[in-house]
Chain A
Amino acid sequence: DAKTTQPTSMDCAEGRAANLPCNHSTISGNEYVYWYRQIHSQGPQYIIHGLKNNETNEMASLIITEDRKSSTLILPHATLRDTAVYYCIVRVGGGGADGLTFGKGTHLIIQP
């Protein structure tokens, strides 16, 4: 699986959109981009994933650049409960049982 690079930490004001970047310049054509978050001492929570098209669900939007070398997770109206570590993971589709490779993620802090 390709390696990802994320900022160590970010701040965002409550009510504003939180934009979390992720670089994955070595991503392969069959690798998907996944986002999870982990609130302190809880299990990681799945947020969203995509291949090359932008995706949106009830939690967030995922914007993937045309060359697929980077992506942005957008939380449209951040609340204090969105404070967590956010992990960007790339993973091969169509096979493989090697688990998810987590980096250190981005610690997002929502400020009141």
Chain B
Amino acid sequence: DAGVTQSPTHLIKTRGQHVTLRCSPISGHKSVSWYQQVLGQGPQFIFQYYEKEERGRGNFPDRFSARQFPNYSSELNVNALLLGDSALYLCASSRTSGGHTDTQYFGPGTRLTVL
């Protein structure tokens, strides 16, 4: 089975612009989570979506938003980009939302550079 896929692989934007990142979960998985990883740090949780509804949110500003589609794929949107938004954005999928059976499997990430 295919793993989690993300697009694009790399992206360069300028300050103030908007960006959309995309994620397709593993087949059969209904939950998608987004993480931001800045250089030298571990990933930080942004959102979790399950059955098209937001189920959890990390400590990120309202410039960050996401949605999940009927096929369980997801988009992460970031408005008014700042230099500090430069990071690796990771998507993880799981069968359900929460619980020890909710093992999350990560995609390869999208490397966003803001100039």
* B-facing residues in A2-41 (Cβ within 8 Å): 32, 34, 36, 41
Q: Which one, B42, B55, B108, contacts A105 given CB within 8 A?
A: B42
How far is the CB of A74 from the nearest CB of chain B, in Å?
A: 20
* Given the contacts A98-B45, A101-B45, A93 and B56 also touching, CB distance less than 8 Å: no
Q: Which one, A41, A49, A98, A102, contacts B42 given CB within 8 A?
A: A102
- A93 / chain B contacts, CB cutoff of 8 Å: 99-100
* A-facing residues in B83-104 (Cβ within 8 Å): 88, 90, 92, 97-100, 103-104
- A102–B109 alpha-carbon span in the complex (Å): 16
- A104–B109 alpha-carbon span in the complex (Å): 18
A43 contacts B106, CB within 8 Å? yes
A103 contacts B106, CB within 8 Å? no
How far is the CB of B94 from the nearest CB of chain A, in Å?
A: 10
* Given the contacts A96-B98, A97-B97, A46 and B104 also touching, CB distance less than 8 Å: yes
* Given the contacts A51-B100, A103-B42, A42 and B108 also touching, CB distance less than 8 Å: yes
B55-89 near A? 1/0 per residue, CB < 8 Å: 11010000000000000000000000000000010
Known: A100-B92, A102-B44. 4 other contacts (CB 8 A): A41-B109, A46-B104, A93-B99, A96-B56
